[in-house]
């Protein structure tokens, strides 16, 4: 029998610590090896017990979860699943936690805690399993200069967007991005490098309701393009990125010469809502050879079949390589389905895409 996943639970609520411990210990492949009511207690426990995964509350006494996470990821990188309250502030803090290196998060119910956490048990243990195999990297000190060629988040903040490149071609092309675990930071790295006149970008990131608003707002403040949640029926415009709202399905349709967003309450696909499969399948049908596909880090196989459909319809597809993925599941499946035209490190995807778009523009100008 393989070794169990060893988990430490850090939460200031005795009830939550007890419930999470029970949920974890019910699984054959994991065990709760300790609980702590604040980060200072947790720090010593982590040193002594060396866990595989930590579940971490956000708001705690003596040191909040974000400060603790930042220190942990700089000094002793360990896979962390955040336990976040489903509020506007909780969503903003969760985005910060993912930026600092948390692998994933669970949205903790505000009322009915005991029944709510038990309802989330399958999701909690699935995310612990994913975290246990995730590639977690040391976060640089906030005041340290990023190393040359670094693909980490510190380098992302300093990535210079490309100069304008496309003109009227940008209305014809559509860039489609799919991601899951680790995807919030990977998406950021791609988007911050895109110029203001980029083709429209449509994005499905596996995320529950209540969190994509903060995710879009955070990206909008970092990028030259406008980043927003998709709204049903709106025209999809160049220079904009549209994120599938959590808990909905998002796909693209055509209205005359324009692409439009379709956001609806369709059923889960591959257990996901939003699902990459739904978005990519619509791109294959509607956009065809004018589409570019990008598959980023994530667990599972969502979107792999539809990305191959995109390629068969004439799209050009980029897939993130294993070395730079937090979890290589979705990219691996896309490659296995023959959907990838290029497999690249995360930091090279946007430059490669921009170079290809520039080449297309140059060829167009030569024909005119």
In this structure, what token pair is assigned to residue 211? 């969190």
- Residue 368 is predicted with a pLDDT of 47
- Residue 87 is predicted with a pLDDT of 65
pLDDT in tens, 208-232: 888 999 999 999 999 999 999 999 9
In this structure, what token pair is assigned to residue 352? 């490669």
Q: Where are the beta strands (DSSP E) in the chain?
A: 5-10, 30-36, 53-57, 80-85, 104-108, 174-179, 200-205, 226-229, 240-243, 249-255, 258-264, 291-295, 316-320, 342-344
In this structure, what token pair is assigned to residue 359? 């080449």
pLDDT for residue 110 is more than 90? no
Catalytic residue among 38, 206, 275, 315: 206
Q: Which of 270, 354, 207 is nearest to 344 (CA)?
A: 354
- Is residue 203 helix, strand or coil? strand
pLDDT in tens, 33-88: 999 998 899 999 999 999 999 999 887 777 788 899 999 999 999 999 998 776 66
Catalytic residue among 170, 180, 198, 282: 180
Distance CA 168, CA 260 (A): 18
206 is catalytic: yes
Mean pLDDT of 290-303: 97
13 is catalytic: no
> pTM for this one?
0.89
Distance CA 29, CA 22 (A): 13
Cα–Cα distances in angstroms (integers) from residue 209 to residues 91, 106, 247, 269, in the given order: 10, 12, 5, 16
pLDDT for residue 102 is more than 80? yes
- Sorting pLDDT into bands at 50, 70 and 90, what band is 163? low
Cα–Cα distances in angstroms (integers) from residue 354 to residues 241, 266, 292, 339, 344, in the given order: 15, 33, 11, 20, 14
302 is catalytic: yes
- Residue 277 is predicted with a pLDDT of 98
Average pLDDT, the chain: 88
pLDDT for residue 155 is more than 50? no
Q: Is 231 exposed, middle or buried (0-12, 13-18, 19+ CB in 10 A)?
A: exposed
Q: Which of 81, 303, 302 is nearest to 293 (CA)?
A: 303
- Sorting pLDDT into bands at 50, 70 and 90, what band is 159? low
Catalytic residue among 21, 240, 302, 315: 302
């Amino acid at each position: 029998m393989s070794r169990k996943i060893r988990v430490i639970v850090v939460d200031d609520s005795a009830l939550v610590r007890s419930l999470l411990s029970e949920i974890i210990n019910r699984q054959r492949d994991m065990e709760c090896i300790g609980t702590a009511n604040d980060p200072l207690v947790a720090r010593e426990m982590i040193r002594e017990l060396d866990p595989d995964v930590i579940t971490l509350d956000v708001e705690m006494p003596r040191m909040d979860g974000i400060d603790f996470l930042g220190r942990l990821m700089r000094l002793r990188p360990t896979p962390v699943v955040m336990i976040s309250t489903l509020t506007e502030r909780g969503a903003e803090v969760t985005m910060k936690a993912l930026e600092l290196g948390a692998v994933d998060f669970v949205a903790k119910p505000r009322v009915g805690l005991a029944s709510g956490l038990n309802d989330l048990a399958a999701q909690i243990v699935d995310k612990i399993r994913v975290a246990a195999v995730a590639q977690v990297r040391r976060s640089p000190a906030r005041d340290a200069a990023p190393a040359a060629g670094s693909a980490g988040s510190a380098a992302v903040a300093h990535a210079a967007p490309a100069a304008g490149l496309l003109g009227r071609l940008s209305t014809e092309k559509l860039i489609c991005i799919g991601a899951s675990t680790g995807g919030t930071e990977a998406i950021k790295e791609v988007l911050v490098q895109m110029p203001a006149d980029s083709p429209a970008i449509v994005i499905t990131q596996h995320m529950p309701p209540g969190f994509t608003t903060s995710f879009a707002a955070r990206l909008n403040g970092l990028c030259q393009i406008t980043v927003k949640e998709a709204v049903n029926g709106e025209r999809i415009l160049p220079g904009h990125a549209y994120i599938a709202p959590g808990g909905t399905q998002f796909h693209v349709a055509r209205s005359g010469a324009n692409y439009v967003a379709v956001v609806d309450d369709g059923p889960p696909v591959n257990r996901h809502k939003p699902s990459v499969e739904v978005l990519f399948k619509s791109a294959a049908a509607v956009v065809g050879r004018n589409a570019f596909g990008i598959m980023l880090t994530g667990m599972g196989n969502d979107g792999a079949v539809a990305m191959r459909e995109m390629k068969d319809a004439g799209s050009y597809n980029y897939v993130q390589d294993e070395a730079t993925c937090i979890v290589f599941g979705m990219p691996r499946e896309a490659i296995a389905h023959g959907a990838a035209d290029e497999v690249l490190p995360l930091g090279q995807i946007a430059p490669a895409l921009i170079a290809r778009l520039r080449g297309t523009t140059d060829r167009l100008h030569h024909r005119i």
